[in-house]
Amino acid sequence: NAPLSELDPEIAAVLKDELARQRDTLEMIASENFAPRAVLQAQGSVLTNKYAEGYPGRRYYGGCEAVDVAENLAIERVKSLFGAEYANVQPHSGAQANAAALAAMIKPGDKIMGLSLAHGGHLTHGMKLNFSGKLYDVAAYQVEEDNFRIDMDKLREQAIAEKPQVLIAGWSAYPRQLDFAAFRSIADEVGALLWTDMAHFAGLVAAGLHPNPVPYSDVVTSTVHKTLSGPRSGVILAKQEWAKKLNSAVFPGQQGGPLMHVIAGKAVAFKIAAGEEFKERQQRVLEGAKIIAERLNAPDVAAAGVSVLTGGTDVHLVLVDLRNSVLDGQQAEDLLHSVGITVNRNAVPFDPRPPMVTSGLRIGTPALATRGFGAKEFTEVGEIIAAALKGGADIAALGARVKALTADFPLYPGQEEW
């Protein structure tokens, strides 16, 4: 029963260092967030000890009466949050939710059509080294070269020519809302199922600040840890008619025992996401992204060859285009890291540079909004990023401005260690 600090000081030091890093820097990776203390508590609990293969009321193990309550709460809360008829809260991750969704909908060799990875799609939407690219026939669609947006008329033409069994709506790096009604009508026209992967924007949907794909889609998957700010994991939503196939695709199809501690954390996160505070936070997420997009699209930044893809954003992230900058994606990521801002480099569509270098940055506001940032702080963050990317700035002075922001918005206050 020795505490971590005594039993394993090396790992205790990792936790301490990571908490310090999260506290002392500005986290702007668009897919990251800070899970509330109550979620971390559920995750770091005795529920991790429990095997519960099966579903509530139909388990292959005894002693599931307590964890059944957690799973049922998670299911009911997420159904109500998104207006879904059916939910499966067992996927360990977004990728596993996606693998199960495809396994339930189609068979190996069938055709899927999603946004190409190089244009903002996800690995699980058909990338050739991923299970999705290996098991299924892939016809990827792209954004337009002149405006970096998905052209729904072209997508319709391509879908008619390709006749996919599954049409995929969803992205990991795309700064605009998708037209789910148009996706539905294209899917219907070509006889495809529509699968929406809302991993990135689910928190905005929950808050009513982004169109909800659930009414339009056959199946919707999501992660729980991005804008939703729950535990690292996945979830599947669908019409009731999919229940049997999806349940069996998750267990025993993809997974064994569900992570009951994580499922309890999901239940907590879904409860929080239904509240007014969560909605107010998501409004700051959107406001912050707009402020940063506007700043990085201003003429003084453009003079340094830096701009914002599509000229702005409707969501929680901004895609910075560095194709005309002296900085490549790697250099820009390193530069921001040196002032205490964490972002990730990201290929822009039609990127002339290799994927490990790239010509873009993906900058997200969810984590800082969780920390309490509003318009004033996001304006300051925009100024710091603009100054860094324009070049010639005093890095130490920018670092001091970052430190001041982190000091004003303490993360997990009162928590000594984790």
- Active-site residue set: 51, 53, 197, 223, 226, 232
HSE-up (13 A, CA, CB side) for residue 72: 9
19 known member of a binding site: no
Q: Which is nearer to ligand PLP, 233 or 297 (CB)?
A: 233
Q: Which residues in this chain contact ligand PLP in the complex, by CB under 6 A?
A: 31, 93-95, 98, 122, 124, 170-172, 197, 199-200, 223, 234
Q: Which is nearer to ligand PLP, 59 or 226 (CB)?
A: 226
Paired tokens of 224? 């729980």
123 known member of a binding site: yes
Min separation Cβ 216 and ligand PLP, Å: 17
Which segments of 89-233 are extended strands (E)?
111-113, 137-138, 166-170, 193-197, 219-223
Min separation Cβ 173 and ligand PLP, Å: 8
The number of beta carbons lying within 10 Å of the beta carbon of residue 93 is 19
Min separation Cβ 209 and ligand PLP, Å: 18
Q: Which is nearer to ligand PLP, 113 or 199 (CB)?
A: 199
Paired tokens of 212? 């909800």
Min separation Cβ 169 and ligand PLP, Å: 10
Min separation Cβ 121 and ligand PLP, Å: 8
**Distance between CA 41 and CA 77 in Å, rounded?**
19
Which segments of 306-404 are extended strands (E)?
307-308, 317-321, 341-342, 344-345, 360-364
Min separation Cβ 202 and ligand PLP, Å: 10
Q: Which is nearer to ligand PLP, 228 or 386 (CB)?
A: 228
**Distance between CA 120 and CA 358 in Å, rounded?**
13
Give Cα 293 to chain centroid, integer Å: 19
Paired tokens of 223? 């992660």
22, 15, 18: which is closest to 368 by C-alpha?
22
121 known member of a binding site: yes
Q: Which is nearer to ligand PLP, 195 or 378 (CB)?
A: 195
CA dihedral 334, 340, 342, 346 (to 10 degrees): -30
**Distance between CA 298 and CA 30 in Å, rounded?**
22
Q: Which is nearer to ligand PLP, 282 or 325 (CB)?
A: 282
Paired tokens of 344? 């990730």
122 known member of a binding site: yes
Ranked by CB distance to ligand PLP, the top (closest) residue is: 94
CA-based Rg of the chain, rounded to a whole angstrom?
22
HSE-up (13 A, CA, CB side) for residue 23: 16
Min separation Cβ 198 and ligand PLP, Å: 8
Provide the edge-to-edge strand list for the sheet that holds 219-223. Answer: 86-88, 234-238, 219-223, 193-197, 166-170, 111-113, 137-138
**Distance between CA 111 and CA 88 in Å, rounded?**
24
Q: Which is nearer to ligand PLP, 254 or 297 (CB)?
A: 254
Give Cα 144 to chain centroid, integer Å: 23
**Distance between CA 143 and CA 152 in Å, rounded?**
10
- For tokens 């799609």, name the residue: 121
CB-CB contact of 317 with 200 (8 Å)? yes
Tell me the binding residues for (6S)-5,6,7,8-tetrahydrofolate: 117, 121-123
Q: What residues are designated binding site?
A: 117, 121-123
